[in-house]
Amino acid sequence: MADSLQVPQGFLAAVSDAVGPDHCLSDPDLKASYELDWTRRFGGPAIVVARPADTFEVAKVLAACSRFRVGVVPQGGNTGLVGGSVPRHGEAVLSLSRLNRVLSCDPEEGLIVAEAGTTLAAAQVAAASVRSELGIDIAARDSATLGGMVATNAGGVHVIRYGPMRARLGGVEVVLADGSVASRLSGLVKDNVGYDLAQIMAGSEGTLGVVTKVALHLVAVPLFRVTALVALRGTEHSSANPAAGVASVSKVAVSLALSLRRHVDGIDALELVYADGMALVREALALPAPSDPGADAWLLVEASGGQDPSDMLARAIEDATGVTEIAVADDAAGRARLWAYRERHTEAIATLGVPHKLDVTLPMKNFAEFAGAVSAEVSAALGGSDTRVILFGHVGDGNLHVNLIGPEPEDYRGDDAVFEMVIRRGGSISAEHGVGVAKLGFVSSARSAGDLTVMRRVKNALDPGGILNPGVLLPPVA
């Protein structure tokens, strides 16, 4: 591996040969935006940023990295939130941003095939042009790429209906560490001939290969879609005990989410925001109150299908405990207005400082208790220091986003406290963002020794020189 920023002789020339001098960036100003992650918590210098134009050029860059034993960080939209998309110790960055063509979009086969650097938004536009959708959506759609979403096995707001990225995959093309290319893009739903290349890549975080093309299954655009923002109040209101208030309204939200999941057909999204996050979004983005300004939390519900789900939804929500007001929209502009209160949490939180973004899943039965207890445990772990804890998330699948603002980027005491709480309660330390470098310290607690052995053997088989995203996902052997 290349030492810090010591560049092996001949390496830059090999990369320049591979991608052309205009796309082999070594000027610090040109490299800067590739060296810092979205949160501003992670990053480091790159010895070079290579911007290949196609699979062939990606293969040549990887062959050069292998030959010169230089670590390489694949990078898509650089919207990852766990520090896996940026260099740490002078690796090369391999940006997929120029591989951005949609290659085919076929409603009859129900399949879109696009290059890995295609943004989610561009793929959504292509799908819409044939009256189809992707069944996956995240707020970073304008920058996040299909390759990055495969590599992180992205989740998002439609997981409860269509599953995460791995469930949408119809195939991938991948360049392996030595520059060889493996491709299976057929999109056949039934195709049992051995190991599944796409599934091996899903969630591999750039450690097993570089995804260069992605095939995704399409779903039909529904005839009806309705969005409701439901204001909720818990039974406990005591400024002396805010934790009890959060636990209480979380219990109301979980109970409503479970009931909607069970009794309403076609639920696409069940998203939860709390009063402090709502106030922050409204202030940062100058948005009006959506409904009941004194609510403790809001559940955003979306349902769609061949029949109008409004009546069924209204009946299921109106009678539920803790509901105070409902704002409903069934047109695109109105729905976008309601979604803004939820989707814009990430950017509003980032206005407060560099966040520690902890993305966890809890069993539904432990969600409310965890949500109530987490702030106090973080504060205790940090010796009572002034830390803000802002919660929101995809309550329909037990996924809570725990955002800490206050601790220094390299202060892990609050992160560790949250992960310990999650493991004690039978949850996962990474619901959808991946491990990256942010959660490395907890992988060994979250996976059995047998699991880790399999992961290491797969890694060694596909990347024997250890050049692909070194230091990400797999903790060093003790």
**Least Cβ distance, residue 284 to ligand MLT (angstroms):** 14
Judge contact between 92 and 1, C-beta under 8 A: no
CB of 302 to ligand FAD, least distance (A): 14
Going by the DSSP 8-state scheme, the letter that residue 331 receives in this structure is S
Residue 357 binds: one of ligand MLT, ligand FAD, none (C-beta under 5 to 8 A by kind): ligand MLT
* 211 binding partner (options ligand FAD, ligand MLT, none; Cβ < 5 to 8 Å by kind): ligand FAD
Contacting residue, 254, 401, 418, 434, with ligand MLT by CB under 6 A: 401
Give the closest residue to 272 by CA, choosing from 342, 361, 327.
342
Give the shortest CB-272-to-ligand FAD separation in angstroms.
13
* DSSP secondary structure code for residue 43 in this structure: B
147 vs 179 by CB, closer to ligand FAD: 147
- Tell me the two tokens of residue 38: 């979205």
Longest CA pairwise span in the chain (Å): 71
Sole binder of ligand MLT in the list 139, 269, 278, 467 (CB under 6 A): 139
User: 3-state secondary structure string, 110-151?
Assistant: CEEEEECCCEHHHHHHHHHCCCEECCCCCCCCCCCEHHHHHH
Nearer Cβ to ligand MLT (312/374): 374
**Footprint of ligand FAD (CB under 6 A):** 38, 73-81, 84-85, 96, 116, 138-140, 143-145, 147-149, 151-152, 154-156, 205-206, 210-211, 346, 432-433, 469, 472
CA–CA distance, 328 with 302 (Å, rounded to integer): 10
What does the DSSP assignment read for 281-329? HHHHHTPPP-S-TT-SEEEEEEEEESS--HHHHHHHHHTSTTEEEEEEE
Residues 355-394, one symbol each (x = binds ligand MLT by CB under 6 A, - = not), give --x-x-----------------------------------
Q: Which residue is nearest to ligand MLT (CB)?
A: 346
Establish if 217 lies at the interface with ligand MLT (CB under 6 A).
no
Half-sphere exposure of 232 (CA within 13 A, CB side): 34
Closest residue by Cα to residue 408 from 20, 41, 39, 32: 41
346 sits near ligand MLT (criterion: CB under 6 A): yes
Candidates 435, 444, 447; CA nearest to 471 is 435
Tell me: does residue 41 bind ligand MLT (CB under 6 A). no
Minimum gap (Å) between residue 97 Cβ and ligand FAD: 9
The CB-of-359 to ligand MLT minimum distance in angstroms stands at: 6
- Count interface residues toward ligand MLT (CB under 6 A): 5
Residue 209 to residue 438: CA distance in whole angstroms: 21
Footprint of ligand MLT (CB under 6 A): 139, 346, 357, 359, 401
